[in-house]
Amino acid sequence: MARSVFSKGGRFAVVLGALVALGGCTSSEQQPAEEQPTTQQAVPVRGCATADLSPEEQTAVEMAMAGRVKSQARANGSVNIKVYWHVINNGTSASQGNITDAQIASQISVLNAAYRNTPFTFTLTATDRTTNSQWYTCSGGACEKKMKAALRKGGAGDLNIYSNNMGQGLLGWATFPSSYASQPSLDGVVILYSSLPGGTAAPYNEGDTATHEVGHWLGLYHTFQGGCTSTGDYVSDTPAESSAAFGCPSGRDTCSTAGLDPITNFMDYTDDSCMNTFSAGQNDRMDSMVITYRGL
């Protein structure tokens, strides 16, 4: 299953430059099953370890959506998405991943604020808590399959969020809508527990790791998808961007096509404080994606 991943330092940061230069990413699912990292987190540096959809899968997605593309997305806030939150911890304290209900509520508020100009709202439906040392540091592979098989709830249109201390320098990952039919049990979003609002993963501790990953779950690619190519992220109003942006580099312009790089877009890799935008084209694409693949 193709999925999108955020990383923050660690071993993925070492290879980040080479991955971006190649225009592709490597999947954390290729790691040996159950060989999990230590719980210590590196200094955050947002990066990529993504298994992109193959060219054939991308083509299939565009063909499936061709008959559903609308000139305008549905009304803001008209599509409610149930959220099932799965807290994976290694003990009872907050420093062991046992985030509070108040932190989860704050994250849901951040999601609703970020998506306020889209068709989507998010309602927390249920929260469960699991103490499991292997799942706590899970970054993909066999442990992910076991965790999600045991905990996932709802159907294609229900958002399952898993928070843990995944290690490997990762911030999170998500599955795409088009992957649901083939592997429904893996559907959902996994985020680093300390990336929630007020967490310790500064400058990625304002809740926009979840915003970004939910964007993938709703069908968006990174703004730098495809670099400066004509198709890019398949959204016409996000200017082409040759590679991921970090920090908040105002005035960055890496492609000769019109428009500065969309550094404030939630689907780039800038700091949480820099991210504040989904474009109208992204709204249309997310809406068409969930109609096509999630039945919402």
Which residues form the catalytic set?
Answer: 213
Sorted by sequence, the CB contacts under 8 Å of residue 195 that are 6+ apart come out as: 171, 172, 201, 204, 205, 207, 209, 210
Rounded distance between C-alpha atoms, residue 213 and residue 222, angstroms: 10
User: 110: burial class by Cβ within 10 Å (0-12, 13-18, 19+)?
Assistant: buried
β-bridge pairing 120-131 and 79-89: parallel
**Closest C-alpha among 214, 212, 218 to residue 290:** 218
3-state secondary structure of 121: strand
- Assign residue 125 a region: left if phi > 0, alpha if psi is -120 to 50, beta otherwise? alpha
Judging by beta carbons within 10 Å of its beta carbon (0-12, 13-18, 19+), is residue 125 exposed, middle or buried?
Answer: middle
Q: Tell which residue, 160, 140, 158, 157, has the closest CA to residue 293.
A: 157
| Contact yes or no for 291/284 (Cβ under 8 A) | no
* 3 state DSSP class of 123: strand
Amino acid at 58: Q
CA 81, 85, 86, 88 torsion-angle sign:
positive
189/85 Cα distance (integer angstroms): 10
Q: How far apart are the C-alpha atoms of 98 and 85, rounded to whole Å?
A: 12
